[in-house]
Amino acid sequence: MPTFFEKKQLVTPGELLAEGDYVAGENTYAEGNKIYASRIGLVDNDDKKVNVVALRAFYVPKVGDMVIGTVVEIGFNGWTIDIEAPYQALLRASDVLSRPFKPQNDELSQVLNAGDLIVAKIASYDRAHDPQLTVGEPGLGKITRGQITKVTPTKIPRVIGRKGSMISMIKEETGCQIILGLNGVILVTGKNPEDEELAIMAIRKIEEESHTSGLTDRITQLLKEEKAKREESKK
């Protein structure tokens, strides 16, 4: 039962990864007893499961995911939201108003207008239906301040870091609040725009160098240096 790769090897779609008693994991598929890659990425296996960490992918909705989206259209009883996925999401008016929605009393555009950004959770999604969003939990709803940056959705776990080490470090160093949408959209809210820019710069750096080791330490250092530089220029 051989495998045909070294750990962390770069593979292209269609490359034969393993043969025999293996299970196809992420971004791979099985044909008979052979396992092939289905996306460009780095291979790895934990025991019998062969995974490819994709270098390029798009966001696929999953129930319970927190996402950041843009209102694109106001409908009869809700909004259409772009969540940077193959499907557009729906947000129902009754969910936002937390009471029955009456078209004669409520003007939807006064609650959320086209172009507004929202933080939401995916309430339901399956093959046959577009994802439905909910904002009925604390911390969700319309975004009123802060800055947005986008990364490839596959790199969100790297921004979080091991047990959240990376993200909590950035929060601490910059004093910003950071909300990660699993669809690759990140909201940074700080006391002033400079802090926000610092955090965004760190996130950009993570995206560029997402596959290097010891990244958390280097980002810490980068932030410290950058902060010192800014202190200096203020004087």
Which CB sits closer to other proteins, 34 or 142? 34
Among 102, 211, 224, 229, binds other proteins (CB under 8 A): 211
Q: According to the binding rule CB under 8 A, does residue 39 interact with other proteins?
A: yes
Residues 92-131 binding other proteins (CB under 8 A) are: 127-128
Inter-CA distances, 220 with 154, 168, 202, Å: 22, 11, 9
User: For strand 23-24 and strand 49-54, is the pairing parallel, antiparallel, or unpaired?
Assistant: parallel
Q: According to the binding rule CB under 8 A, does residue 51 interact with other proteins?
A: no
Tell me which DSSP letter residue 112 carries: S
Which CB sits closer to other proteins, 134 or 152? 152
Q: According to the binding rule CB under 8 A, does residue 140 interact with other proteins?
A: no
Among 23, 30, 57, 74, binds other proteins (CB under 8 A): 57
What's the CA gap between 192 and 176, in Å, rounded?
Answer: 9
Strand order in the sheet with 28-31: 16-19, 34-37, 28-31
Residue 144 · residue 154 · CB < 8 Å: no
Binding range to other proteins, per CB under 8 A, among 80-88, 99-107, 184-192, 220-228: 80-88
Angle at the Cα of 47 (from 41 to 52), degrees rounded to 5? 10
Q: Say how many CA atoms lie within 13 Å of 142 toward its Cβ.
A: 14
Binding range to other proteins, per CB under 8 A, among 38-46, 96-104, 116-124, 186-194: 38-46
Q: How many residues belong to the site for other proteins (CB under 8 A)?
A: 31
**Alpha helix (H) residue ranges in 139-192:** 156-160, 165-174
**What's the burial of 92, exposed, middle or buried (CB within 10 Å: 0-12/13-18/19+)?**
middle
Binding range to other proteins, per CB under 8 A, among 82-90, 132-140, 143-151, 220-228: 82-90
Residue 196 · residue 189 · CB < 8 Å: yes
Among 5, 15, 166, 199, binds other proteins (CB under 8 A): 15
CB of 224 to other proteins, least distance (A): 22
CB of 15 to other proteins, least distance (A): 7
Rule CB under 8 A: which residues touch other proteins?
8, 10, 12-16, 27, 29, 31, 36, 38-40, 42, 54-58, 60, 86-88, 127-128, 209-213
